[in-house]
A and B are shown apart, each in its own frame.
Chain A
Amino acid sequence: MADPTQKKPEPKPASPTLHAREERAKDEALEVPDFAKLDLRVETVEERISPSETNVFDK
């Protein structure tokens, strides 16, 4: 459900592009992407355990 208090929606993000890429990757599984031209940055969140929650013996 959309939030009625929000401003006029801006254009949607790039999910169609994503889907297009993914579909292409599926359909042309043997066609290898040009990795050198792709944005291959990966974000990992190492550990999300809050340090304060590590003091568990009193809890």
Chain B
Amino acid sequence: MTYFPIRLVYPPQGHFTQPYLALPCIKAWLQQQGFEDVGLVDASIEAYDRFLSPEYLARAKRLVEERLPLSRFESRSELSFGEFAAYRGAAEAAASADAVIATIDEAKRTIRGEEFYDIDRYTPAVRTLYQGLRLVSAAHHPSELTPHNFSMRYSNERSSEVLAATRDEVENPFLEHFRSTLLPRLVADKVRVVGMSVIYGSQLVPALTLGRLIKEALPDCHVTAGGGFLAYIGRKLMRAPGLEDCLDSVVFHEGEGPMAALCAALRDGTPLESVGSLTWFKRADGRVETIENPPMHPVRLDAAPTPDFDGLPFELYFSPRLVLPYDINRGCYYGECTFCTLPTVIGPGYRTRRASTIAEHVVALRDKHRTTHFNFITDCMPPGMIRDLPDELVARQAGITWWSDARVEPKAYTIEGARKLHEAGCRKLLFGFETATPRLLKMMQKGQSLKSTVEVANNCAAAGISVTFYAMVGFPTETREEARATLQFLLDHKDAVREVSLQTFHIDEVAQTYHEPDKFGIRIIDDPSKDIELYHDYEAASGMSQKEAAEMFEEMMAALRANLPIFAGDNIFFFMQKSHYFLHLAAGASPEEFAERARARADQRNTARTSLAWRPARGLRAVPLSHPHADVVRAMARPEARAVRPDFLTGRHEEGALEAAIAAIPPVARSSRVLWWCGETAEFVETRPDGAAALRALQAAGDLSKLLERLPPTDETGRAALLAFARELKKGGALVEDGTIATARASERHGETAPAT
């Protein structure tokens, strides 16, 4: 047997709560085709786990102190907008770094263990992870790594900038990371093929960074990449000068067939011209030529093997239970929606596995990996599958719970159908609702009525299935009034619709809206300087402009956060961390029960009630500041400030946004403050120096009642001031109330004895 090691790599940055599916599918297929040494690497979770380690965070702290010392800002009479991000990073690192370094391992254990299910333990743990990533980001300022994104100052729309980002030793954290971790392993294994899956724009720079390092270290290794994002821009990318230093080829559409053919050709030394769906660099006589091969037929999905997840570091995902993804079909059987560009990503046509095959695979995966939790990857299940799959799962006593995307199918999601789905383990469905405006639904060719959408949602809710709606704002010609009517519709049905995934409308190059703009009353704006551009600005003849749609998004999201319990305050972490809300449902909580828990938690935080038992949170750390941190953070939340960062969904930088923000956002004047990191709650609070002295007095006394006892009985004014101060501290997380399981556990954690309650 020829020694021919293949590694399939999921580059940073992707979700950190569960594994990614496509590479295990390709691994299983390659093994079926006779390739024995096929390894999986989730480089995204490896990076998150390493970055969120005490050792790496200590390194990050040192880097922040070197690159963004707080002393740099102390003498300034005012800070301008251009300095806000650096100042925030410096101030937060100074206040929180030591504490986050000390508690990060415990936060990870909480999220990966049984304490995940204790809502009061979960939230500070997630906050600690977020703060850890802010520290990592500050160390590589102005780059930002969050649980959902990685962005740099460089534009993803220009290849020259993307390539520059792959060489930036200071701001690209993945250069050092790959050199220290993955690259030595690939070199030691003398890997012959590396296949990367790039499904998000946030993975582009890390993937090309890794590609460059591999090509430098292993000249004989073929580096290829595929995935949804490259399906859009791969052709342009492969014509960009300099790309040949990072990649050898790009695979389009599904990867099984092309990867098997590519690996066979490379192993056997046969020409790459015969590998379908491959665009590759032909290198000869010092010249590089881009060759586009014709497309390959997709594989027969029902004959594809069970995905093989072996080799993935399950213990590293930030979830207490393993949630395995599994694809029940590929493509969309409906395929009419005018905004959808799915065929570009997954290839033409609709393919499905039989319900019996799905159940067989799921049971095999359940037994192999000892998990009963699944995320079915599908754009929608056809009515026949909605009927058949539950029967198969029940007949095989699969005993699983699962969630998936869905299309409104009133004939399938009847009361009886929904009950059957729940019996078969379905706990959450995400429907493409889009809008409550029938005129727009027609333009979108959604093929669904509001009446049937509500009926389906109510049937699912009645059966105990949590319903999420995907909604869209800013579809061409949509007016503000129509968007507000959509919002009202969502709020009117909040007892059935627990979550809303809202997004602004974007035009990408393969959408019908791009190719037939007249039909939608828009004019597309092209920018020739962007050689790998995917999304385009447009001007609308009627309805909201892009800017107005962005403003409407803010308005709608604010209303959703005010009205949906899972969106209130920091409950939104459950929505944001993929599968985390689902895991509560899988553990037996009904959507109503969880919503009630979330509502009670939000109410408790907002209550005006004062408790004399409030005590300072453990792990309080203070740093004196020259300028108000809170003012800086608030300013950075303004729309003009957010426009400076690349758009979350598209990754686009807005031209002139920085200049506009500097003009619109006033500087922050010097004023002495104290920034507190509250270790127990993992929140920041800012006081004046007087407040710091008062909080120290509270710490010395032990709790609010003991400090109040020391006030002269006649000092009504002082008492009122102290109580008002305490209420604000409580809101900010600097004071906590004992008597809950959470605080008792916190006491153990900090090696202290919990006060009697």
A: residues with CB less than 8 A from B are 1-3, 6-7, 9-10, 12-15, 17-19, 21-22, 24-26, 29-30, 32-36, 38-59
A12 touches B721 (CB 8 A): no
| CB nearest neighbor in A for B725 | A40
- The 28 listed contacts between A and B (C-beta, < 8 Å) are A1-B72, A9-B74, A12-B75, A13-B625, A19-B624, A22-B692, A22-B696, A32-B707, A35-B722, A38-B721, A39-B688, A40-B687, A40-B725, A40-B728, A41-B728, A42-B732, A43-B685, A44-B684, A45-B630, A45-B634, A49-B576, A51-B553, A54-B557, A55-B502, A57-B578, A58-B649, A59-B148, A59-B648
In order of increasing CB-CB distance, the 7 nearest A-B pairs are: A43-B630, A9-B75, A44-B732, A42-B728, A29-B700, A14-B672, A38-B690
Q: A39-B690, A57-B501 are in contact. Are A51 and B75 (CB under 8 A)?
A: no
Taking a contact as CB atoms closer than 8 A, the residue among B72, B149, B561 that contacts A59 in the complex is B149
Known: A29-B697, A48-B633, A55-B648. A17 touches B672 (CB 8 A): yes
Contacts of B722 in A (CB 8 A): 35, 40
Given A32-B697, A45-B630, the answer on whether A17 and B75 have CB atoms closer than 8 Å is no
Q: Are A43 and B637 in contact (CB under 8 A)?
A: no
- Most B-side CB within 10 Å, residue of A18, A42, A53, A54: A42
Q: Which of A1, A19, A30, A56 contacts B710 (CB 8 A)?
A: A30
Q: Which residues of A contact B200 (CB under 8 A)?
A: 59
Beta-carbon contacts under 8 Å, B468-516 to A: 468, 470, 501-503
Q: In the docked arrangement, what's the CA distance between A40 and B688, Å?
A: 7
Distance in angstroms from A38 CB to nearest chain B CB is 4
Residues of A within 8 Å of B684, CB to CB, are 44-45
Query: Which residues of chain B from 73 to 112 have any CB-CB distance to chain A below 8 Å in the complex?
Result: 74-77
Q: State which of B72, B688, B693 has its C-beta within 8 Å of the C-beta of A33.
A: B693
Contact status A52-B718, CB under 8 Å = no
Tell me whether A2 and B71 are in contact in the complex, defined as CB-CB below 8 angstroms, given that A36-B717, A54-B557 are known contacts.
Answer: yes
Taking the closest CB of chain B, its distance from the CB of A17, in whole angstroms, is: 6
Q: Please name all residues of chain B whose beta carbon is closer than 8 Å to the beta carbon of A45 when the two chains form the complex.
A: 630, 633-634, 684
* Minimal Cβ-Cβ distance residue in A for B670: A13
Bound-complex Cα distance A39 to B693 (A): 10
Please give, as numbers and ranges, the residues of chain A lying within 8 Å of B670 by CB-CB distance: 10, 13
Contact across chains for A21 and B693 when beta carbons are under 8 A apart: yes
Residues of chain A within 8 A of B731, CB atoms compared: 42, 44
Query: Which residues in A have their C-beta under 8 angstroms from that of B672?
Result: 13-15, 17-18
The interface bits of chain B over 696-712 (1 if a CB of A lies within 8 angstroms of the residue's CB, else 0) are: 11001100000100110
Nearest CB in chain B: distance from A43 CB, A = 3
Whether the pair A47, B642 counts as a contact (CB closer than 8 A) is no
Which of B313-321, B567-575, B736-744 contacts its partner?
A: B567-575
B100 to chain A, nearest CB (A): 15
Q: Compute how far the CA of A10 lies from the CA of B273 in the bound complex, rounded to whole angstroms.
A: 68
Other A-B pairs beyond A13-B625, A18-B693, 9, CB < 8 Å: A18-B689, A21-B693, A29-B697, A33-B693, A41-B691, A42-B729, A43-B630, A44-B630, A51-B554
Complex Cα–Cα for A43 and B671 (A): 13
Instruction: How many A-B residue pairs have C-beta atoms within 8 angstroms? Tell me.
Output: 196
Contact, CB under 8 Å: A36 / B718? yes
Binding site for A on B (CB under 8 A): 15, 66, 69, 71-72, 74-77, 146, 148-149, 200, 202, 430, 468, 470, 501-503, 553-554, 557-558, 561, 567, 569-570, 572, 575-576, 578, 622, 624-626, 628-631, 633-634, 637, 642, 647-649, 670-674, 683-694, 696-697, 700-701, 707, 710-711, 715, 717-719, 721-722, 724-725, 728-729, 731-734
The residue of chain A having its C-beta at the shortest distance from the C-beta of B501 within the complex is: A57
Measured between C-beta atoms, what is the minimum distance from B135 to chain A in Å? 14
Q: A12-B75, A49-B576, A51-B557 are in contact. Are A40 and B633 (CB under 8 A)?
A: no
CB-based contact A56/B578 at 8 Å:
yes
Which B residues lie within 8 Å of A26 (CB)? Answer: 696, 700
Please, how many angstroms separate the alpha-carbon atoms of A17 and B366 in the complex? 62
How close is B651's CB to chain A, nearest CB, in angstroms? 10
* B718 cross-chain contacts in A, Cβ below 8 A: 34-36
Contact (Cβ within 8 A) B688 A13: no
CB distance from A42 to the nearest CB of B (A): 4
Complex contact A22–B693 (CB within 8 A): yes
Contact of B570 (CB < 8 Å), options: A43, A44, A47 = A47
A42 to B430, CA, bound (A): 40
User: B146's closest neighbor in chain A, by CB?
Assistant: A53
- A17 to B718: give the CA distance in the assembly, Å: 21
Interchain CB contact under 8 A, A54 and B75? no
Contact partners of B728 in chain A: CB under 8 A: 40-42, 44
In the bound complex, CA of A32 to CA of B628 (Å): 27
Beta-carbon contact of A43 and B686 below 8 Å: yes
Kindly list chain B residues whose C-beta atoms are within 8 Å of the C-beta of A42. 685-687, 691, 725, 728-729, 731-732, 734
Task: Indicate if the CB atoms of B688 and A41 lie closer than 8 Å.
Answer: yes
**Interface contact A50-B691, CB-CB below 8 Å:** no
Q: Is A48's CB under 8 angstroms from B637's CB?
A: yes
Bound CA span A56–B76, Å: 38
Distance in Å: Cβ of B700 to nearest Cβ of chain A:
4
- Nearest chain-A residue to B629 (Cβ)? A43
Interchain nearest-CB distance for B614 vs A (Å): 13
Chain B residue with the shortest CB-CB distance to A32: B710
User: A49 to B691, Cβ gap below 8 A?
Assistant: no
How far, in angstroms, from A1 to B69 measured CA to CA in the complex? 7
Question: Do B634 and A53 have beta carbons less than 8 Å apart?
Answer: no
Distance in Å from the Cβ of A51 to the closest Cβ of chain B?
Answer: 4
Query: Which chain B residues border A7 with CB–CB below 8 Å?
Result: 75
Q: CB distance B725 to A49 under 8 Å? A: no
Give complex CA distance A9, B74 in Å: 8
**Bound Cα distance from A56 to B573, whole angstroms:** 11
Q: Which residues of A contact B721 (CB under 8 A)?
A: 35-36, 38, 40
B503–A58 CB distance below 8 A: yes
- Which residues of chain B are near A36, meaning CB under 8 Å? 715, 717-718, 721
Q: Quick check: B570 and A40 within 8 Å, CB to CB?
A: no
With A1-B69, A53-B648, A59-B648 known as contacts, the answer to whether A40 contacts B715 (CB < 8 A) is: no
Q: How far is the CB of B564 from the nearest CB of chain A, in Å?
A: 11
A32 vs chain B, min Cβ distance (A): 5
B557 to chain A, nearest CB (A): 4
Which residues of B are found within 8 Å of A34, using beta-carbon distances? 718
Q: Which B residues lie within 8 Å of A56 (CB)?
A: 15, 148, 501, 575-576, 578
Would you call B149 and A53 a contact (CB within 8 A)? yes
A1-B66, A10-B76 known; A35 vs B694 contact (CB < 8 Å):
yes
Q: How far is the CA of A18 from the CA of B689 in the complex (A)?
A: 5
Between A6, A9, A32, A43, the greatest number of chain B beta carbons within 10 A of the residue's beta carbon is seen for A43
User: Which residues of A are found within 8 Å of B558, using beta-carbon distances?
Assistant: 51
Q: How far is the CA of A38 from the CA of B687 in the complex (A)?
A: 11
Q: How far is the CB of B353 from chain A (nearest CB, A)?
A: 23
Complexed CA–CA distance, A33 and B622 (Å): 19
Task: Report whether A6 and B76 are in contact in the complex, using a CB–CB cutoff of 8 Å.
Answer: yes
Complex-state Cα separation, A25 to B699, whole angstroms:
10
